[in-house]
Amino acid sequence: MVKVVSEEAVKCAITAICDAYSLSTEASQGVIDSFYNDKLSAFRVNTLKASIADVLAELNSNGIEVSPINWSDVSYTLKDKSLLSRSSFARDGLVYIQNLSSQLTALLLDAKPDEFVLDLAAAPGGKTSFIAAMMQNNGRISAVEPVKDRYFRTIANLKNLGVTICKCYQKDGRVVGKLCKEWFDKVLLDAPCSSMAQIDLRDEDSYSHWNMKKVKECSRKQKQLILSAFESLKPGGTMIYSTCSWMVEENEEVVNHLLNEYNDQLEIVDLDLPIENYLPGLTIYNNVSYHETITKTRRIIPNQCYEAFYIAKIRKLIR
Ligand SMILES: C[S@@+](CC[C@H](N)C(=O)[O-])C[C@H]1O[C@@H](n2cnc3c(N)ncnc32)[C@H](O)[C@@H]1O
Protein backbone atom coordinates (compact mmCIF):
# COMPACT_ATOMS: atom_id res chain seq x y z
CA MET A 1 0.00 0.00 0.00
CA VAL A 2 1.48 3.34 -1.09
CA LYS A 3 1.55 5.95 1.67
CA VAL A 4 -0.47 9.01 0.72
CA VAL A 5 1.47 12.21 1.37
CA SER A 6 0.31 15.34 3.03
CA GLU A 7 0.54 18.89 1.77
CA GLU A 8 3.34 19.34 4.35
CA ALA A 9 5.40 16.54 2.74
CA VAL A 10 5.12 18.13 -0.71
CA LYS A 11 6.09 21.52 0.71
CA CYS A 12 9.02 19.87 2.46
CA ALA A 13 10.32 18.41 -0.82
CA ILE A 14 10.02 21.77 -2.55
CA THR A 15 11.71 23.57 0.36
CA ALA A 16 14.60 21.06 0.39
CA ILE A 17 15.43 21.92 -3.21
CA CYS A 18 15.05 25.67 -2.61
CA ASP A 19 17.50 25.22 0.30
CA ALA A 20 19.93 23.33 -1.92
CA TYR A 21 20.05 26.40 -4.17
CA SER A 22 20.39 28.68 -1.14
CA LEU A 23 17.33 30.57 -2.32
CA SER A 24 16.33 33.38 0.03
CA THR A 25 13.33 32.76 2.28
CA GLU A 26 11.37 35.16 0.09
CA ALA A 27 12.30 33.35 -3.14
CA SER A 28 11.51 29.92 -1.60
CA GLN A 29 8.14 31.24 -0.49
CA GLY A 30 7.56 32.46 -4.06
CA VAL A 31 8.20 28.95 -5.39
CA ILE A 32 5.87 27.38 -2.81
CA ASP A 33 3.23 30.02 -3.54
CA SER A 34 3.39 29.13 -7.23
CA PHE A 35 2.09 25.66 -6.29
CA TYR A 36 -0.97 27.40 -4.79
CA ASN A 37 -1.67 30.10 -7.35
CA ASP A 38 -3.73 30.03 -10.49
CA LYS A 39 -1.49 30.15 -13.51
CA LEU A 40 -2.04 32.07 -16.71
CA SER A 41 -3.08 29.73 -19.49
CA ALA A 42 -1.13 29.51 -22.70
CA PHE A 43 -1.69 28.29 -26.22
CA ARG A 44 0.06 28.27 -29.55
CA VAL A 45 -1.29 28.81 -33.03
CA ASN A 46 -0.99 25.58 -35.00
CA THR A 47 0.63 26.87 -38.18
CA LEU A 48 -0.03 23.53 -39.90
CA LYS A 49 -3.70 24.51 -40.04
CA ALA A 50 -4.01 28.26 -39.61
CA SER A 51 -2.18 31.55 -39.98
CA ILE A 52 -1.32 33.60 -36.90
CA ALA A 53 -3.10 36.69 -38.31
CA ASP A 54 -6.34 34.78 -39.00
CA VAL A 55 -6.43 33.19 -35.55
CA LEU A 56 -5.72 36.49 -33.77
CA ALA A 57 -8.44 38.26 -35.76
CA GLU A 58 -10.97 35.51 -34.92
CA LEU A 59 -10.04 35.49 -31.23
CA ASN A 60 -10.37 39.26 -31.14
CA SER A 61 -13.80 39.19 -32.75
CA ASN A 62 -14.86 36.59 -30.13
CA GLY A 63 -13.72 38.85 -27.30
CA ILE A 64 -10.81 36.57 -26.27
CA GLU A 65 -7.89 38.74 -25.10
CA VAL A 66 -4.40 37.30 -25.48
CA SER A 67 -0.82 38.52 -24.85
CA PRO A 68 2.21 37.61 -26.97
CA ILE A 69 5.37 35.89 -25.72
CA ASN A 70 8.71 37.38 -26.71
CA TRP A 71 10.46 34.09 -27.59
CA SER A 72 7.90 32.64 -30.01
CA ASP A 73 5.74 34.13 -32.77
CA VAL A 74 3.07 31.48 -32.31
CA SER A 75 2.74 31.46 -28.50
CA TYR A 76 0.33 33.51 -26.37
CA THR A 77 -1.00 33.66 -22.82
CA LEU A 78 -4.53 34.38 -21.66
CA LYS A 79 -6.21 34.76 -18.27
CA ASP A 80 -9.03 32.31 -18.71
CA LYS A 81 -8.84 29.44 -21.17
CA SER A 82 -12.43 28.24 -20.74
CA LEU A 83 -13.82 30.17 -23.72
CA LEU A 84 -10.90 29.13 -25.93
CA SER A 85 -11.00 25.46 -24.92
CA ARG A 86 -14.70 25.31 -25.84
CA SER A 87 -14.13 27.10 -29.15
CA SER A 88 -13.98 25.59 -32.62
CA PHE A 89 -10.34 26.79 -32.92
CA ALA A 90 -9.29 24.39 -30.19
CA ARG A 91 -11.65 21.62 -31.28
CA ASP A 92 -10.49 21.78 -34.91
CA GLY A 93 -6.81 22.03 -34.01
CA LEU A 94 -6.17 25.60 -35.19
CA VAL A 95 -4.78 26.36 -31.75
CA TYR A 96 -3.33 24.01 -29.12
CA ILE A 97 -3.61 24.81 -25.42
CA GLN A 98 -0.18 24.06 -23.95
CA ASN A 99 1.75 25.53 -21.03
CA LEU A 100 4.76 27.73 -21.83
CA SER A 101 7.35 25.44 -20.25
CA SER A 102 6.23 22.60 -22.55
CA GLN A 103 6.25 24.85 -25.60
CA LEU A 104 9.74 26.11 -24.78
CA THR A 105 11.02 22.54 -24.35
CA ALA A 106 9.76 21.50 -27.81
CA LEU A 107 11.20 24.68 -29.33
CA LEU A 108 14.64 23.99 -27.83
CA LEU A 109 14.91 20.71 -29.72
CA ASP A 110 15.29 22.98 -32.76
CA ALA A 111 14.06 20.35 -35.24
CA LYS A 112 14.50 21.37 -38.89
CA PRO A 113 12.58 20.37 -42.03
CA ASP A 114 13.84 17.08 -43.53
CA GLU A 115 15.29 15.77 -40.28
CA PHE A 116 14.45 12.39 -38.74
CA VAL A 117 13.13 12.98 -35.22
CA LEU A 118 12.21 10.61 -32.39
CA ASP A 119 9.73 11.51 -29.65
CA LEU A 120 10.36 8.71 -27.17
CA ALA A 121 7.50 9.38 -24.70
CA ALA A 122 4.98 11.12 -26.88
CA ALA A 123 1.39 11.00 -25.60
CA PRO A 124 -0.77 12.98 -25.98
CA GLY A 125 1.41 14.46 -28.72
CA GLY A 126 1.50 18.12 -27.68
CA LYS A 127 5.23 18.48 -28.20
CA THR A 128 5.27 16.14 -31.22
CA SER A 129 2.78 18.38 -32.99
CA PHE A 130 4.78 21.53 -32.21
CA ILE A 131 7.91 19.81 -33.55
CA ALA A 132 6.01 18.84 -36.73
CA ALA A 133 4.87 22.46 -37.14
CA MET A 134 8.47 23.68 -36.80
CA MET A 135 9.47 21.15 -39.46
CA GLN A 136 6.57 22.44 -41.63
CA ASN A 137 5.46 18.82 -42.07
CA ASN A 138 8.71 18.01 -43.94
CA GLY A 139 10.90 15.15 -42.77
CA ARG A 140 9.94 12.27 -40.49
CA ILE A 141 8.92 11.85 -36.85
CA SER A 142 8.60 8.58 -34.95
CA ALA A 143 6.45 8.89 -31.83
CA VAL A 144 6.58 6.17 -29.16
CA GLU A 145 3.97 5.59 -26.45
CA PRO A 146 3.45 2.26 -24.63
CA VAL A 147 0.09 2.91 -22.97
CA LYS A 148 -2.68 1.74 -25.31
CA ASP A 149 -5.33 4.41 -24.79
CA ARG A 150 -2.69 7.16 -24.73
CA TYR A 151 -1.19 5.76 -27.96
CA PHE A 152 -4.59 5.92 -29.72
CA ARG A 153 -5.24 9.39 -28.30
CA THR A 154 -1.91 10.56 -29.73
CA ILE A 155 -2.79 9.26 -33.20
CA ALA A 156 -6.17 11.04 -33.08
CA ASN A 157 -4.63 14.25 -31.74
CA LEU A 158 -1.91 14.39 -34.37
CA LYS A 159 -4.47 13.79 -37.12
CA ASN A 160 -6.68 16.59 -35.80
CA LEU A 161 -3.65 18.89 -35.67
CA GLY A 162 -2.80 18.20 -39.32
CA VAL A 163 0.47 16.36 -38.65
CA THR A 164 1.29 14.19 -41.68
CA ILE A 165 4.94 13.24 -41.06
CA CYS A 166 4.57 11.22 -37.87
CA LYS A 167 4.30 7.48 -37.43
CA CYS A 168 3.23 6.31 -33.97
CA TYR A 169 4.47 3.12 -32.32
CA GLN A 170 2.93 1.44 -29.29
CA LYS A 171 6.21 0.39 -27.65
CA ASP A 172 8.23 0.66 -24.50
CA GLY A 173 10.79 3.40 -25.14
CA ARG A 174 13.44 1.45 -23.27
CA VAL A 175 13.90 -1.00 -26.19
CA VAL A 176 14.13 1.64 -28.93
CA GLY A 177 17.84 2.44 -28.52
CA LYS A 178 18.84 -1.15 -29.26
CA LEU A 179 16.33 -1.50 -32.18
CA CYS A 180 17.14 1.84 -33.84
CA LYS A 181 20.80 2.39 -33.03
CA GLU A 182 22.02 5.82 -34.21
CA TRP A 183 19.01 6.48 -36.50
CA PHE A 184 17.82 9.93 -35.44
CA ASP A 185 19.03 13.52 -35.96
CA LYS A 186 17.06 14.76 -32.96
CA VAL A 187 15.46 12.95 -30.00
CA LEU A 188 13.00 14.31 -27.46
CA LEU A 189 12.64 12.43 -24.18
CA ASP A 190 9.93 14.24 -22.24
CA ALA A 191 10.05 11.53 -19.63
CA PRO A 192 7.22 10.04 -17.58
CA CYS A 193 7.70 11.63 -14.14
CA SER A 194 6.08 12.23 -10.76
CA SER A 195 4.55 15.41 -12.27
CA MET A 196 5.19 17.93 -9.53
CA ALA A 197 4.23 20.69 -11.95
CA GLN A 198 0.68 19.42 -11.86
CA ILE A 199 0.46 19.85 -8.10
CA ASP A 200 -1.97 22.46 -6.85
CA LEU A 201 -1.58 22.58 -3.08
CA ARG A 202 -5.22 23.71 -2.75
CA ASP A 203 -6.39 20.45 -4.32
CA GLU A 204 -5.54 17.30 -2.36
CA ASP A 205 -6.35 15.06 -5.35
CA SER A 206 -3.49 16.66 -7.31
CA TYR A 207 -0.84 15.45 -4.85
CA SER A 208 -2.40 12.55 -2.95
CA HIS A 209 -0.63 10.03 -5.21
CA TRP A 210 2.67 11.86 -5.21
CA ASN A 211 5.26 10.24 -2.93
CA MET A 212 8.96 9.37 -2.77
CA LYS A 213 8.29 5.77 -3.79
CA LYS A 214 6.85 7.07 -7.06
CA VAL A 215 9.78 9.46 -7.48
CA LYS A 216 12.27 6.57 -7.07
CA GLU A 217 10.31 4.35 -9.51
CA CYS A 218 10.24 7.15 -12.08
CA SER A 219 13.96 7.76 -11.59
CA ARG A 220 14.75 4.10 -12.30
CA LYS A 221 12.71 4.13 -15.52
CA GLN A 222 14.06 7.55 -16.59
CA LYS A 223 17.65 6.24 -16.30
CA GLN A 224 16.81 3.37 -18.65
CA LEU A 225 14.95 5.68 -21.05
CA ILE A 226 17.76 8.25 -21.25
CA LEU A 227 20.26 5.53 -22.23
CA SER A 228 17.84 4.28 -24.90
CA ALA A 229 17.30 7.83 -26.22
CA PHE A 230 21.04 8.44 -26.41
CA GLU A 231 21.70 5.11 -28.16
CA SER A 232 19.10 5.97 -30.84
CA LEU A 233 20.78 9.30 -31.60
CA LYS A 234 23.14 9.74 -34.58
CA PRO A 235 26.66 10.98 -33.80
CA GLY A 236 26.45 14.77 -34.13
CA GLY A 237 22.74 14.67 -33.23
CA THR A 238 21.14 16.40 -30.25
CA MET A 239 18.53 15.36 -27.73
CA ILE A 240 16.43 17.03 -25.07
CA TYR A 241 15.70 15.36 -21.74
CA SER A 242 12.88 17.03 -19.82
CA THR A 243 10.49 16.46 -16.95
CA CYS A 244 7.78 18.48 -15.26
CA SER A 245 9.15 17.40 -11.90
CA TRP A 246 11.07 19.40 -9.32
CA MET A 247 12.89 16.36 -7.88
CA VAL A 248 16.68 15.93 -8.26
CA GLU A 249 16.23 12.13 -8.49
CA GLU A 250 14.27 12.60 -11.74
CA ASN A 251 16.51 15.30 -13.19
CA GLU A 252 20.19 15.84 -12.37
CA GLU A 253 20.56 12.25 -11.10
CA VAL A 254 19.25 10.89 -14.43
CA VAL A 255 21.54 13.06 -16.58
CA ASN A 256 24.41 12.13 -14.26
CA HIS A 257 23.63 8.46 -14.94
CA LEU A 258 23.98 9.08 -18.70
CA LEU A 259 27.27 10.92 -18.08
CA ASN A 260 28.55 7.99 -16.03
CA GLU A 261 27.80 5.60 -18.93
CA TYR A 262 28.79 7.72 -21.94
CA ASN A 263 30.84 10.64 -20.61
CA ASP A 264 33.42 10.58 -23.44
CA GLN A 265 30.72 10.43 -26.16
CA LEU A 266 28.60 13.45 -25.31
CA GLU A 267 28.54 17.05 -24.26
CA ILE A 268 25.88 18.91 -22.32
CA VAL A 269 24.88 21.96 -24.34
CA ASP A 270 24.84 25.26 -22.47
CA LEU A 271 21.16 26.23 -22.66
CA ASP A 272 20.63 29.94 -22.93
CA LEU A 273 16.94 30.19 -22.07
CA PRO A 274 15.03 33.23 -23.37
CA ILE A 275 13.44 33.69 -19.92
CA GLU A 276 14.75 34.94 -16.58
CA ASN A 277 13.17 32.50 -14.16
CA TYR A 278 15.59 29.58 -14.31
CA LEU A 279 18.36 28.00 -12.28
CA PRO A 280 21.38 25.91 -13.32
CA GLY A 281 21.30 22.16 -12.62
CA LEU A 282 22.50 21.16 -9.16
CA THR A 283 25.88 19.45 -8.81
CA ILE A 284 25.54 18.45 -5.15
CA TYR A 285 22.41 17.17 -3.45
CA ASN A 286 22.13 15.27 -0.17
CA ASN A 287 25.95 15.12 -0.12
CA VAL A 288 26.11 13.30 -3.48
CA SER A 289 28.23 15.03 -6.14
CA TYR A 290 27.31 14.99 -9.81
CA HIS A 291 29.38 15.86 -12.91
CA GLU A 292 30.19 19.60 -12.95
CA THR A 293 28.81 19.94 -16.51
CA ILE A 294 25.29 19.44 -15.08
CA THR A 295 25.28 23.16 -14.25
CA LYS A 296 24.58 23.63 -17.99
CA THR A 297 21.18 21.96 -17.59
CA ARG A 298 18.26 24.16 -16.57
CA ARG A 299 15.41 24.23 -14.07
CA ILE A 300 12.52 26.51 -14.85
CA ILE A 301 11.33 28.09 -11.61
CA PRO A 302 7.55 27.88 -11.49
CA ASN A 303 5.62 31.14 -11.40
CA GLN A 304 2.34 32.52 -12.69
CA CYS A 305 3.34 31.93 -16.34
CA TYR A 306 5.63 28.89 -16.21
CA GLU A 307 5.31 25.37 -14.82
CA ALA A 308 8.19 23.77 -12.92
CA PHE A 309 10.33 22.07 -15.58
CA TYR A 310 13.78 20.57 -15.98
CA ILE A 311 15.51 20.68 -19.37
CA ALA A 312 18.85 19.22 -20.45
CA LYS A 313 20.20 19.44 -24.00
CA ILE A 314 22.75 16.80 -24.93
CA ARG A 315 24.90 16.46 -28.07
CA LYS A 316 26.35 13.11 -29.17
CA LEU A 317 29.93 13.67 -30.25
CA ILE A 318 31.17 12.52 -33.68
CA ARG A 319 33.80 9.83 -33.10
C1 LIG B 1 5.30 13.59 -19.76
S2 LIG B 1 4.33 12.51 -20.71
C3 LIG B 1 4.69 13.05 -22.35
C4 LIG B 1 3.97 14.29 -22.77
C5 LIG B 1 4.17 14.61 -24.24
N6 LIG B 1 5.59 14.79 -24.54
C7 LIG B 1 3.42 15.88 -24.65
O8 LIG B 1 4.01 16.96 -24.57
O9 LIG B 1 2.27 15.79 -25.05
C10 LIG B 1 5.21 11.03 -20.60
C11 LIG B 1 4.63 9.88 -21.38
O12 LIG B 1 5.53 8.77 -21.29
C13 LIG B 1 4.77 7.59 -21.34
N14 LIG B 1 5.60 6.45 -20.85
C15 LIG B 1 5.51 5.77 -19.69
N16 LIG B 1 6.41 4.75 -19.69
C17 LIG B 1 7.07 4.80 -20.86
C18 LIG B 1 8.08 4.00 -21.46
N19 LIG B 1 8.61 2.95 -20.83
N20 LIG B 1 8.50 4.32 -22.70
C21 LIG B 1 7.98 5.39 -23.36
N22 LIG B 1 7.02 6.18 -22.85
C23 LIG B 1 6.56 5.89 -21.62
C24 LIG B 1 3.57 7.92 -20.46
O25 LIG B 1 2.51 7.02 -20.71
C26 LIG B 1 3.29 9.36 -20.88
O27 LIG B 1 2.36 9.39 -21.93
Please tell me the predicted confidence (pLDDT) of residue 154: 98
Statement: residue 221 has pLDDT above 70: yes
Atom of ligand 1 nearest to the CA of 120: 21
Task: Round to whole Å and give the CA distance between 200 and 187.
Answer: 30
Q: How confident is the model at residue 319 (pLDDT cuts 50, 70, 90)?
A: confident
**Of residues 88, 25, 24, 21, the one with CA closest to residue 61:** 88
Does ligand 1 lie within 6 Å of residue 147's CB atom? yes
Q: How confident is the model at residue 1 (pLDDT cuts 50, 70, 90)?
A: very low
Q: What is the residue with the minimal CA distance to atom 20 of ligand 1?
A: 173
Does ligand 1 lie within 6 Å of residue 177's CB atom? no
Please tell me the predicted confidence (pLDDT) of residue 23: 92
* Active-site residue (options: 18, 193, 244, 305): 244
Statement: residue 89 has pLDDT above 50: yes
SS3 of the chain: the string is CCCCCCHHHHHHHHHHHHHHCCCCHHHHHHHHHHCCCCCCEEEEECCCCCCHHHHHHHHHHCCCCCEEECCEEEEEEECCCHHHHCCHHHHCCCEEECCHHHHHHHHHCCCCCCCEEEECCCCCCHHHHHHHHHCCCCCEEEEECCCHHHHHHHHHHHHHCCCCCEEEECCCHHHHHHHCCCCEEEEEEECCCCCHHHCCCCCHHHCCCCCHHHHHHHHHHHHHHHHHHHHHEEEEEEEEEEECCCCHHHCHHHHHHHHHHHHHHEEECCCCCCCCCEEECCCEECCEECCHHHHHCEEECCCCCCCCEEEEEEEECCC
Statement: residue 278 has pLDDT above 60: yes
Statement: residue 174 has pLDDT above 90: yes
- Residue 12 annotated as catalytic: no
Identify which of 86-90, 205-209, 227-231 has the greatest average pLDDT: 227-231
Q: Determine if residue 124 is labeled as part of a ligand binding site.
A: yes
Atom of ligand 1 nearest to the CA of 119: 6
Q: How confident is the model at residue 262 (pLDDT cuts 50, 70, 90)?
A: very high
- The structural domains of the chain, with segments of one domain joined by +, span 7-38+100-316, 40-98
Does ligand 1 lie within 6 Å of residue 127's CB atom? yes
Can you give the pTM of this predicted structure? Answer: 0.96
Task: Round to whole Å and give the CA distance between 35 and 39.
Answer: 9
Does ligand 1 lie within 6 Å of residue 146's CB atom? yes
Specify the CATH class of 40-98 in words: alpha beta
Q: Is the ipTM of this complex over 0.90?
A: yes
Statement: residue 95 has pLDDT above 90: yes
Residue among 101, 104, 117, 145 to mutate when testing ligand 1 (max atoms within 8 A of CB): 145
The values of phi and psi at residue 274, to 5°, are -80, 25
Q: Determine if residue 81 is labeled as part of a ligand binding site.
A: no
Mean pLDDT across 294-318 = 96
Taking the CA atoms of the chain, what radius of gyration do you get in angstroms?
19
Mean pLDDT across 239-260 = 97
Q: How confident is the model at residue 160 (pLDDT cuts 50, 70, 90)?
A: very high
Q: Is 82 left (phi over 0), alpha (psi -120 to 50) or beta?
A: alpha
Q: Determine if residue 125 is labeled as part of a ligand binding site.
A: yes
Does ligand 1 lie within 6 Å of residue 214's CB atom? no
Task: Round to whole Å and give the CA distance between 187 and 121.
Answer: 10
Please tell me the predicted confidence (pLDDT) of residue 272: 87
What integer best gives the mean pLDDT of the chain?
95
Mean pLDDT across 34-53 = 95
Please tell me the predicted confidence (pLDDT) of residue 282: 97
Statement: residue 2 has pLDDT above 50: no
Q: Determine if residue 121 is labeled as part of a ligand binding site.
A: yes
Q: How confident is the model at residue 96 (pLDDT cuts 50, 70, 90)?
A: very high
Architecture category of domain 7-38+100-316 in CATH: 3-Layer(aba) Sandwich (3.40)
